[in-house]
A and B are shown apart, each in its own frame.
Chain A
Amino acid sequence: MTDFGWIEGALAAARPQAMAALLRYFRDMDAADEAFQDACLRALKAWPKNGPPRDPTAWLIMVGRNAAIDAVRKTSRNAPLPPEDLLSDLEDAEAEAAERLDSAHYRDDVLRLLFICCHPDLPATQQIALALRIVSGLSVREIARAFVVSDTAMEQRITRAKARIGAGDAPFEAPGPIERAERFAAVAAMIYLVFNEGYSASGKALEAKGGLCDEAIRLARLLLRLFPAEPEMMGLAALLLLQHARSDARFAADGAAILLEDQDRSLWNRRMIDEGLALIDKAMLKQAPGPYQVQAAIAALHARAACAEDTDWAGIDRLYATLEIMQPSPVITLNRAVAIAKVRGPDAALEMIAPLGGRLDAYFPYHGARGALLLQAGRRAEARQAFDRAIALANTAAEAANIRQYLDRVAAKD
């Protein structure tokens, strides 16, 4: 870390609030973004000399606003920029500004910013791109890399998103309680998608996308601070922490995925697990379960098992049953079948997933899981057929390699 590493940390932390306030002021995303960049450049110049301001966020908002106004003046009247020393006057104005920009204001600003990025008119991919660009401050290039598209394509996606919500139409008043609740779900879903984008990557792509998981956790923490009493928000943050805690154990050196039960649990990140467990315990106190909490509770049961054999499969089965009621989906039933197989054996699980064949016929994990259950039940010929079908549907080389390991096991038993 450089001696001024603290500045970068402070700028990153101030970003959501400062961007949100600048957006409220300019009502234009590009103008707000430019003003924030400008303020950051000035901070990098001024803070090492003068030390950090009492309220970095208020400083950035004020300097960003002034810089943008100066820029407009400069182009319209060709007047010179005020000398940098004038910025020192800000020290006095700072306290006053900090007082005006009280926490309640911040809260609404940041919510509005997240809500704008999750505008219902935008497709999910554009919501994610916009949030990563505007709230997280990732560069277009970083986002493009993470989504494996060209810089130009990502630039277009973000530009389109900005145009679509056009500053004029975006709601700048603080959202009412009903809209807040609706958009909360959209924002939470967006954070979950950002996380999954990072989590589902493997091999080379993982290097590019790994940061997305950290970013999603940061956004989840931010949203949790805005909704500190919302159990589903605690559940979402817990879920992301508990999943991400396993990231160092999920892949072998050659890039092949390692199944949960085969992972070296000493590689799991204890600190993230502990925080995730603390959050899900706290959420449970509220007795208002929701899908994120249930998923986090499942992840927590895996995290609490010292070794794979200690896993509370009956508890996981019950939680999946709850999730099936909340969000009926063949994929959840398929996941539940894995727990059923552990509790009641492969035949019970096969019976459970038999009706899913039609809807999940093109779904790679269905055939993989079915093959594994058939193999467990000793129905080797059918298992081989299922694995062949899975390989045909594999999306990545790692998925195919994984199934080939099973086929080798079938062959070994023949």
Chain B
Amino acid sequence: MLYAILCYNQEDVVCAWSKEEDAAVMAKLGAVQQRLAEEGRLGPVARLMPTTAATTLRKDREPPLVLDGPFAETKEQLLGFYVVDCESLDGALQVAKDLGKANPGGSYEIRPIAMFQPGPAGA
């Protein structure tokens, strides 16, 4: 089964990492990713740009409203996600724990994927 592992962390903190700190975290994450890829279990991986670069389309009205952000008053923001093939929730939790060791603070949300359609953009 495919699981999405959504990475949440405080954007302010992650954006304050120095280039070296950022590279160190990415290298450690890369090691976990490489293992998963070798096992043929790694789907798309995305790191999202800061929420300041984001736009929200609210469609509860006509015409839909274009807003900046998300700027909900939350402490943690969605900063990226992985798609991983795992036998069970246990397996997905283990992947999240491995990723978590590379990446201080924040949290991972593990969401089973109901439908997955790899398109040319993800190739």
Contact = CB atoms under 8 A, between A and B. Distances in A.
Given A1-B24, A237-B52, A6 B16 contact: no
A10 B53 contact: no
Interface string A223-253: 0110011000010010000000000000000
Interface string A251-282: 00000000000000000000000110011001
Nearest to B20: A1
Given A13-B16, A274-B49, A282 B55 contact: yes
A342 interface: no
Contacts of B71: 225, 228
B19 A224 contact: no
Contacts of B19: 214
B13 to A, nearest CB: 4
Contacts, number: 60
A52 interface: yes
A9 B52 contact: no
A279 B53 contact: yes
A285 B55 contact: yes
Contacts of A6: 13, 104-105
A102 interface: yes
Contacts of A358: none
A55 B75 CA distance: 9
Interface in A1-59: 1, 5-6, 9-10, 12-14, 52, 55
A404 interface: no
Nearest to B53: A278
A322 to B, nearest CB: 23
Given A221-B50, A237-B52, A9 B13 contact: yes
Interface residues of A, number: 27
A229 B66 CA distance: 11
B12 interface: yes
A10 B105 contact: yes
Contacts of A52: 105
Interface in A207-229: 214, 218, 221, 224-225, 228-229
A103 interface: yes
Interface in A270-312: 274-275, 278-279, 282, 285
The dominant DSSP class at the A interface is helix
Given A13-B10, A221-B15, A282 B73 contact: no
B21 interface: yes
Contact of B17 (A9, A234, A285): A9
B79 interface: no
Contact of A224 (B17, B25, B52): B52
Contact of A279 (B17, B52, B69, B104): B52
Interface string A94-107: 00000000110000
Interface in B4-45: 10, 12-21, 24-25
A278 B16 contact: no
A354 B4 CA distance: 62
B76 to A, nearest CB: 11
A13 B12 contact: yes
Contacts of B16: 9, 12-13, 218
Interface of A: 1, 5-6, 9-10, 12-14, 52, 55, 102-103, 214, 218, 221, 224-225, 228-229, 234, 237, 274-275, 278-279, 282, 285
22 contacts: A1-B25, A6-B104, A9-B13, A9-B16, A9-B21, A10-B13, A13-B10, A13-B13, A14-B12, A52-B105, A102-B73, A103-B73, A218-B15, A218-B16, A224-B52, A225-B52, A229-B68, A234-B52, A275-B49, A278-B53, A282-B53, A285-B55
Interface of B: 10, 12-21, 24-25, 49-50, 52-53, 55, 66, 68-69, 71, 73, 75, 104-105
